[in-house]
């Protein structure tokens, strides 16, 4: 029985359980170690410590800030109208390191800011990668003139901010990627496919193209197999065909799209696996380097650890980053 499969370019590899179990002990130890590191570091980075993303927020209606924070083991931030970010620097030295902008999921209704945000940033730091957790705006007619573009504006601003502060923040300006979970994956893939349609000011002609994209159980399409809740929250309640196609990101891939790493579970009942598969196929058709990792089970929203499998997908992501020369291979 297969635990998961890897699709890499036009090749499919099947990993059998006996191969996985050999590595599973070490994966579990690594995950426990990362969790311990996170619990120590997160005490100094609370949800209240997000820094402002803009001096002047574009597309903004000045209304009452109704932001809501809950924590039942998963930190959730709702009704975000003032965007922000947390920067996790891998090391306080002079080395220029890659940086990943992380977009938590939540159906464009909330942000799952811990297991799809700060936990992931902490993992990146352990492998020598800087990370930015993006607190992007929740679409709202009460707070935005055009709610449909507010999250994309925030993602593009984060890319701009990382590039223009690269020297000061210890970032390699040619290795800035974007990552997203679920609806955050929709935002990340939108930024990765619409980088020529800039929605924020660009006074110094900075590139808004991410250098790579990492999409975990992502919403990709707003067509028939897409996620209705994310679609309605972003572009509803009155939805035009033009908007559906603009935000169906599988339709906007070309040869300039950044390399991609995707993870999805086949039994995901919330965001159908067709989202990742069709995006992956379009990447291949446009000769863009891509890898797709499919779990047999796991459902939706499992974060870094799919408890139905011995496979620790962040380790596979690390290997992909090494193969694509985003991070160095340690001797």
> Sign of torsion, CA 124 317 181 297?
negative
Question: Is 30:305 a contact under the CB 8 Å cutoff?
Answer: no
Continuous H helices in the chain? 17-42, 119-126, 150-164, 166-169, 183-193, 228-235, 241-246, 274-285, 313-323
The answer to pTM > 0.85 is: yes
Question: Is 110:77 a contact under the CB 8 Å cutoff?
Answer: yes
Give the integer Cα–Cα distance in Å for 277 and 12.
13
At residue 25, the pLDDT reads 46
At residue 88, the pLDDT reads 97
pLDDT tens track for 123-177: 999 999 999 999 999 999 999 999 999 999 999 999 999 999 999 999 999 999 9
Topology of domain 4-323 in CATH is Rossmann fold (3.40.50)
Per domain, the residue ranges of the chain are 4-323
Continuous H helices in 236-297? 241-246, 274-285
At residue 115, the pLDDT reads 97
**Pairing between β-strand 130-135 and β-strand 97-103 as defined by DSSP bridges:** parallel
At residue 136, the pLDDT reads 98
Residue 16, pLDDT > 70, answer no
Length of the chain: 331
Residue 17: pLDDT band by 50, 70, 90 thresholds? very low
At residue 7, the pLDDT reads 72
Residue 19, pLDDT > 90, answer no
Residue 181, pLDDT > 70, answer yes
pLDDT tens track for 224-278: 999 999 999 999 999 999 999 999 999 999 999 999 999 999 999 999 999 999 9
Mean pLDDT over 40-47 rounds to: 46
Question: Is 199:187 a contact under the CB 8 Å cutoff?
Answer: no
Q: Residue 149: helix, strand or coil by DSSP? A: helix
């Amino acid at each position: 029985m297969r635990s998961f499969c890897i699709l890499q370019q036009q090749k499919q590899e099947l990993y059998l359980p006996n191969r996985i179990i050999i590595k599973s002990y070490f994966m579990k130890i690594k995950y426990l170690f990362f969790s311990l590191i996170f619990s120590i570091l997160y005490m100094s980075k609370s949800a209240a410590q997000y820094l402002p993303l803009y001096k002047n927020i574009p597309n903004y209606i000045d209304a009452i800030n109704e932001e809501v924070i809950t924590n039942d083991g998963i930190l959730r931030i709702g009704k975000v109208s003032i965007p922000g970010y947390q920067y996790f620097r891998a090391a306080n030295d002079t080395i220029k390191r890659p940086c990943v902008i992380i977009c938590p999921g939540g159906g464009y209704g909330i942000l799952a800011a811990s297991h799809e945000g700060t936990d992931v940033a902490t993992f990146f730091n352990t492998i020598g990668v800087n990370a930015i957790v993006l607190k992007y705006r929740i679409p709202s007619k009460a707070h935005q003139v055009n709610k449909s573009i507010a999250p994309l504006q925030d993602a593009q601003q984060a890319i701009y901010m990382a590039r223009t502060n690269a020297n000061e923040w210890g970032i390699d300006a040619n290795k800035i990627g974007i990552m997203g979970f679920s609806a955050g994956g929709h935002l990340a893939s939108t930024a990765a496919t619409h980088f020529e349609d800039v929605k924020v000011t660009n006074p110094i002609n900075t590139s808004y193209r991410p250098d790579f994209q990492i999409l975990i159980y992502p919403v990709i399409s707003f067509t028939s197999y897409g996620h209705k809740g994310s679609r309605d929250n972003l572009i509803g309640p009155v939805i035009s065909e033009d908007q559906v196609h603009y935000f169906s990101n599988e339709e906007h891939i070309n040869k300039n799209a950044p390399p991609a790493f995707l993870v999805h579970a086949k039994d995901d009942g919330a965001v159908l696996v067709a989202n990742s598969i069709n995006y992956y196929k379009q990447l291949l058709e446009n000769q863009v380097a891509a890898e797709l990792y499919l779990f047999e089970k796991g459902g939706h929203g499992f974060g870094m650890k799919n408890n139905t499998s011995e496979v620790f997908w962040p380790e596979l992501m690390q290997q992909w980053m090494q193969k694509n020369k985003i991070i160095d291979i340690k001797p």
